[in-house]
Amino acid sequence: MTKEIGITVKKSNDFSDWYTQCVLKSSIADYSPSKGFIILRPYGYAIWEIIRELLDDELRKTGHKNGFLPVLIPESLLTKEKDHFDGFMPEVFWVTKSGDSDLGEKLAVRPTSETIAYSMFSKWISSYRDLPLKMNFWNSALRAEIKSTKPLIRNSEFLWQEGHTAHKDENEADEEVRVILDIYKNLIEQFLALPTLSGFKTDKEKFVGAKYTTCLESLMADGKALQMATSHHLGQNFSRPFEIKFLNKDTVEQFVWQTSWGISWRVIGAIIMVHGDDKGLILPPKISPTQVIIVPIYKDDSKAVVKQKAYELEQKLKESKIRAQVDDRDAYTSGWKFNDWEMKGVPLRVNVGLRDIKENKVELIRRDTKERFYVTEKELVNQSLSTLEKIQSNMFDRAKIHLQENTRSATTLEELLSVLDTFGGFVACSWCGKRECEDLVKEKTTADIRIVPFNPKNNISSCIGCGKQETIEVYFGRAY
RNA sequence: GGGGUUGUCGUCUAGCUUGGUAUGAUGCCAGCCUCGGGCGCUGGAGGUCGUCGGUUCAAAUCCGACCAGCCCCA
């Protein structure tokens, strides 16, 4: 009779259903009444807030300032950079009316903010002294997703940050692109415990309007790739149409060099997909809203003393900056609470009951390994701190092994298809650099080039598409 | 873009073939019970059957359109 409450499918049997159940039943998010939109609930938003604070901190340290942009963009601005507009056009929502009357110029609901940001940059920048201009915006973006929506992974609206910068020369913009990608990589690997591949996008896959795009790719448990974050070098592609010019020291007027970059709530979906198990989520300690959940186990006559002890433990943990919480709800049994917190993915649980109090100990249970052990009350704080660290690194290591074991190579189209069909994952191949070969592989295998790695392994052979000899190494994969 | 499939108290669900005022569980509320892996007992509240329209004396049920969810393929 209790079977219906938790996650009812195995991760390995029906990954898609498992994922959706995880999102809904852990109360991270819920569907909204309109197609393709979701509602982030307090538990999900708490995770997002932690991620946001971590990233904000790094951006502040590197000289970026937060601002806010309007959600509506006049059509004339959005269409100024042609490639950019053509790329986004199919999924732009338009506002055409105010009340009953038609608007003179229709307004786009932002699919991304380059155009409106840069129309302002051109006002704000006139001298080399105004540079670099490094701004960041925490907002949402809207892109109409008609089909294949998946909570947090692909929705018509998503939370993200978008950074926009302007620089005096190309090198400085190059450097900015790299610095940002490093910040993302550190956040994703060290805090979200998700290993990534880093590199360039091909011209086909790059951000529309960019000179080049760098990105981080991760591998989900079902063998599909997921783009985690991107950092674009925009060259002068936007500064020319938007006339963002400055007078240099040498009194020569120049266009600025720009970057833009972003990371979205999609990473929360990735955390679920990579780390979760049949019981639900497993959250990396560093971004878990609750790091230690304390479950007091009591009968009526022991309730007061056990709860009191639980609050004491909570206080001690909090004094050591551990996000601890007592589940003091009387309405649920302890067994129910165990399952509930496991589904929510809290990394470490403390069980404390009357018999533990008498023996001056508590039980610790790791979410990642299900390992359980007793510690004395005195050891609790230190044991919790060190166990949380172990969980954090164990989660990364496990995911890293999964990534390595599912990164293979292929030298022919047939081999590539067979590897993809059998295992999924990333497949290293050689590629001549031509769009035709990239398209051919897509057509034959539905996979695309996820990344042109910064650090190729140098197993170069002839092109997977045309067989030409001069090639570079790329990673193919089927993606979300 | 193409194809398939689903929608019934908060949630899951029976009923639909063959039209006649909706079943059960869980959750919720009250009371009792008490908690070491989703306790138990008693009572109670809760439903425009996704929406709109059509057929009919009568529609959850038949027909159409739309909305929303999910799956497969491109």
Note whether residue A285 is domain-resident: no
Which residues lie closer than 8 Å to A167 by C-beta, 6 or more apart?
Answer: A131, A132, A173, A176, A256, A257, A258, A259
Assign A234 a pLDDT band (cuts: 50, 70, 90): very high
Query: Which residue carries 């950079």 as its tokens?
Result: A81
In this complex, which residue's CA is closest to the C1' atom of nucleotide B35?
A: A333
> Do A249 and A344 have their domain in common?
no
Domain shared by A190 and A309, yes or no: no
| Whether residue A234 sits in one domain with residue A154 | yes
| pLDDT for the residue A1 | 29
What's the per-residue H, E or C state across A5-21?
A: CCCCCCCCCCHHHHHHH
pLDDT tens for residues A410-451?
Answer: 999 999 999 999 999 999 999 999 999 999 999 999 999 999
Smallest CA–C1' separation from A350, nucleotide = B36
Residue nearest to nucleotide B70 (CA to C1'): A17
Q: Which of A24-33, A318-327, A401-410 comes out lowest in average pLDDT?
A: A24-33
pLDDT digits (tens, 9 = 90+) for A288-323: 999 999 999 998 888 889 999 999 999 999 999 999
Predicted complex ipTM: 0.84
Would you say residue A253 lies in a domain? yes
Residues A379 and A346 in one domain: yes
Q: What is the pLDDT of residue A65?
A: 97
Question: How many structural domains comprise chain A?
Answer: 3
Nearest nucleotide (C1') to alpha carbon of A446:
B74
Domain boundary (A330, A358, A387) is at: A387
| Separation between the CA of A337 and the C1’ of B38 (whole angstroms) | 8
Question: How many Å does it take to go from CA A331 to C1' B22?
Answer: 31
Shared domain for A241 and A308, answered yes or no, is no
pLDDT, tens digit, 9 for 90 and up, residues A145-173 = 877 789 999 999 999 999 999 999 999 99
Q: Which residue is nearest to nucleotide B68 (CA to C1')?
A: A35
Name the closest nucleotide to A343, judged by C1' and CA.
Answer: B38
Based on the domain organization, do A382 and A428 belong to the same domain?
no
Residue A83 and residue A207 in one domain: yes
Asked whether residue A112 falls in the same domain as residue A226, the answer is yes
pLDDT per position as a tens digit, A206-231? 999 999 999 999 999 999 999 999 99
**Is A379 a member of any domain?**
yes
Å between CA of A149 and C1' of B25: 31
Q: Is residue A338 part of a domain?
A: yes
pLDDT surpasses 70 at A3: no
Q: In the prediction, which pLDDT does A82 show? A: 87
**Alpha carbon distances (Å) from A82 to A85, A190, A236, A387, A396:** 5, 38, 14, 53, 41
| Together in a domain, A162 and A33 | yes
CA A353 to C1' B43, in angstroms, rounded, equals 33
Q: Which nucleotide is nearest to A334 (CA to C1')?
A: B35
> What is the CA A35 to C1' B57 distance in angstroms?
39
pLDDT of residue A5: 66
Residue A1 domain-assigned (yes or no): no
* Same structural domain, A355 and A421: no
CATH number for A470 = 3.30.110.30
The one-letter amino acid at A354: L
A143 CA to B25 C1' distance (Å): 40
Q: What is the mean pLDDT of chain A?
A: 93
Return the closest-CA partner of residue A410 out of A420, A400, A398. A420
* Same domain, residue pair A469 and A429: yes
Instruction: Round and report the angstrom distance from CA (A58) to C1' (B18).
Output: 69
Residue A369 lies in a domain: yes
A400 within a domain of the structure (yes/no): no
Is residue A281 predicted with pLDDT exceeding 90?
Answer: yes
pLDDT digits (tens, 9 = 90+) for A363-387: 999 999 999 999 999 999 999 999 9
Q: Is residue A304 part of a domain?
A: yes
Alpha-carbon Rg of chain A, whole angstroms?
25
pLDDT band at A2 (very low <50, low <70, confident <90, very high): very low
Chain B bases having any atom below 7 Å from a protein CB:
1-2, 12, 25-26, 28-29, 34-40, 67-74
Strand nucleotide closest to residue A279 (CA to C1'): B38
Q: Are residues A89 and A191 in the same domain?
A: yes
For residue A300, give the CATH number of its domain: 3.40.50.800
Its domain, for residue A183, covers 15-275
Nucleotide at minimal C1' distance from the A478 CA: B74
| DSSP state letters, A178-229 | HHHHHHHHHIIIIIS----EEEEPPTTTSPTT-SEEEEEEEE-TTS-EEEEE
